[in-house]
Structure 1
Amino acid sequence: MILYGIPTCDTCKKALKALERAGKDVSFRDIRANPLTQDEVDRIVQEFGSKAVNQQSTTYRSFNDFLKASDPEAQIMAQPTVMKRPVIQDGERWYLGWDSATEAALTS
């Protein structure tokens, strides 16, 4: 299982702790220190579409009009922290964000 996020994200920290408490073997991928490849970004956007971009974030709001009008792949490649977090890959299954449904699916 891979959790994609940034170490300062409270939601990522919460998800990581819950997964570890549940005994899951999870590796944390810091997308700032170890940027996503184009293939990884494509896969994430293929899974989640425009929902992969957090349009409420300060990062997104700081984008110029051209970047705001760009596709989600371009937005994430330009600034990885605009990606909604965490993104969790569990084998062939993908999860976006951390809510009660995701927690139940991954920790039970």
Structure 2
Amino acid sequence: MIIYGLKNCDTCRKALRSLPDATLVDVRADGVPDDVMARAFAQFGAALLNTRSTTWRGLDSQERDQDPLALIAAHPALMKRPLIDADGTLYLGWTKDVAAQVTAL
């Protein structure tokens, strides 16, 4: 199981504590493989973009209008976190529902 997120993100740390066998991939340092990002965007669409982040608020309207995948590639902190890859099945965020589904695996 792979958790794509930020090592200093509280939500990612909660997920990692609950999933001790998972590996955290820091999206700022290592990025997300293109195929994983394409699958995530196909599954979650615009929800993959964290529009509540400080990074998002710092963008001007022209930048916000760019393709979401290009925005995330340029600003990895814009990706909603964590993105969890559990044997090919993707989960986004760390809500009670996601936590229950992933910990049951």
Structure 1's consecutive aligned runs of 4 or more residues displaced over 4 angstroms after TM superposition are none
1:3 partner amino acid: I
d(CA) in 2 for partners of 1:6 and 1:63?
20
Q: Give unmatched runs, 5+ long, in structure 1.
A: none
1:2 partner amino acid: I
2:62 partner amino acid: F
Q: Report the identity percentage.
A: 40
Q: What corresponds to 1:75 in structure 2? A: 71
Q: Give unmatched runs, 5+ long, in structure 2.
A: none
Structure 1 residue 14 and structure 2 residue 14: aligned? yes
Q: What corresponds to 2:62 in structure 1? A: 66
Q: What corresponds to 1:84 in structure 2? A: 80
- TM-score under structure 2 length normalisation: 0.92
User: Does structure 2 retain, via aligned residues, the 8 Å contact 1:53–1:82?
Assistant: yes
- TM-score under structure 1 length normalisation: 0.89
Residue deviations 1:51-96, cap 9 Å, x none? 0000011101111211101121111011011000000000121100
Number of equivalences: 104
Q: Tell me which of 94, 98, 102 is aligned to 2:90.
A: 94
